[in-house]
Structure 1
Amino acid sequence: MASNESRRVSDLETLKAFGHPLRMRLYRALHIAREATASQLADQVDEAVSLVSYHLRKLADHGLIEEADQQGRDGRERWWRPASKGVSFHEEDFQDAPEMAATHAAVGRLSFDQRVEMYRRYLDSASTWPTDWRSAATSSEYLARLTAEELAGLGRELHQLIDRYEALGRAREAAGDSEGRENVAVHLYTFPFRP
């Protein structure tokens, strides 16, 4: 049974397993679909089913995804789902050795690049979205002077707010209110900088 909590990954092998470009894309696609087969995911990422199956097994080997129940299905294909609400990787878990720090940084850059590409695709297709969706989409930058403690508090509050809206959307959709719903990406980065 999938956990309703986010999984904090702190071991290098799992980080390396997740840090493959196709695996990240598959994890994201599976997170959106909630449950899917390798064939369904292969269509979404435009890759061969055999390659997708291989990478799904690698994600499963590290407990990032799991097989979904086969209830009401013919059983010819394996169904997969995320093993947790999400995954997180924290810098402090990977600072003990240069290889760990380098791998954490590389996975962070890859994740960022994929997020930027998602936003670029939206910008390129924005004119095809209805006006209400274009008006609802946001892009902002806030520059504040905070302490590390205040920044951590801001992060916790932002996560709680997003969790609340995500739970509300899922509950309404489960109750049959799916009209007008779209997948929505929320990318937040909070970090200190010096000009």
Structure 2
Amino acid sequence: MPSEENRRITDVGTLKALAHPLRANLYRLLCVERVATASQLSEQVDEAVSLVSYHLRRLAGHGLIEEAEPQTGDGRERWWQPASDGVSIRDEDFRGEPGRAAAHLAATRLFHDQRADHYRRYLDERPTWAPEWNTASVDNESWMRLTPAELTALKQELEALLRRHDEQARAAEAAGDTEGREHVALYAYGFPFRVRPA
């Protein structure tokens, strides 16, 4: 049974294990599917089952995923699930040493690129979605002048809001309310920047 809390990644080895393009995608897919086999995941990432199995074992070796209860009577299949409700990777855990900071930066760039690719895929597929989904989709820019404390407070409020909506949706789905539900990704970035003089 996965932990209900996000796992905080603080060591470079685990960060590097997750910050591999295929492993990051497999981890996300498991978080979405909640439980799956290497065969099921290989179809979604268009890779050989043996390669997917190898990368799943690497994720498991770092405690990011774990074996799940079998979902069928086929004892030959190995089922996997996330070991926690998600992960958190914080800048403050990788400061101070150039190698740690570089690993964190490389991982952050990879995750961002994958998120951007995911959104581009939605844009390409937008004509295939019903109008109500396209109307409900969010694409927003906000420009503010904040202090670090204000940005931290905003981040915490957004995280609490997301948790509340996720918990409500999971409870409704568990109660049988599955009509019209789809997977939804919400990516948010909040960061300081300076306007360069002309």
Tell me the TM-score range normalised by the shorter chain. Answer: over 0.9
Query: What TM-score do the two structures reach when normalised by structure 1?
Result: 0.98
Q: Does 1:14 align with 2:14?
A: yes
> Number of aligned pairs?
195
Partner of 1:36: 36
Partner of 2:104: 104
The structural deviation recorded for 1:73 is 3.2
Q: Post-superposition, which runs of at least 4 consecutive aligned residues in structure 1 deviate over 3 A? A: none
Secondary structure at the counterpart of residue 99 of structure 2: helix
Instruction: List aligned pairs for 1:67-106, cutoff 5 A.
Output: 67-70=67-70, 73-106=73-106
Change over 3 Å in CA distance of 1:71–1:21 after alignment to 2: closer
Residue type at the aligned position of 2:5: E
Distance in 2 (alpha carbons) for counterparts of 1:62 and 1:96: 23
Distance in 2 (alpha carbons) for counterparts of 1:97 and 1:112: 23
Partner of 2:23: 23
Distance in 2 (alpha carbons) for counterparts of 1:101 and 1:17: 16
Distance in 2 (alpha carbons) for counterparts of 1:140 and 1:31: 25
Distance in 1 (alpha carbons) for counterparts of 2:193 and 2:88: 22
Secondary structure at the counterpart of residue 105 of structure 2: helix
Distance in 2 (alpha carbons) for counterparts of 1:56 and 1:119: 25
CA RMSD of aligned residues (A): 0.9
Distance in 2 (alpha carbons) for counterparts of 1:71 and 1:27: 19
Distance in 1 (alpha carbons) for counterparts of 2:73 and 2:35: 12
Q: Select between 75-84 and 65-74 the one with higher mean Cα deviation.
A: 65-74
Aligned identity (percent) is 58
Partner of 1:154: 154
Partner of 2:178: 178
Q: Deviations over 1:90-114 (max 9, x none)?
A: 1110112111100100000000000
Gaps of 5+ in 1: none
**Conserved? CA contact 2:39–2:49, under 8 Å:** yes
Change over 3 Å in CA distance of 1:99–1:125 after alignment to 2: same
The structural deviation recorded for 1:72 is 5.1
Q: Deviations over 1:130-179 (max 9, x none)?
A: 01000000100111111101100100000010111111111111111111
Gaps of 5+ in 2: none
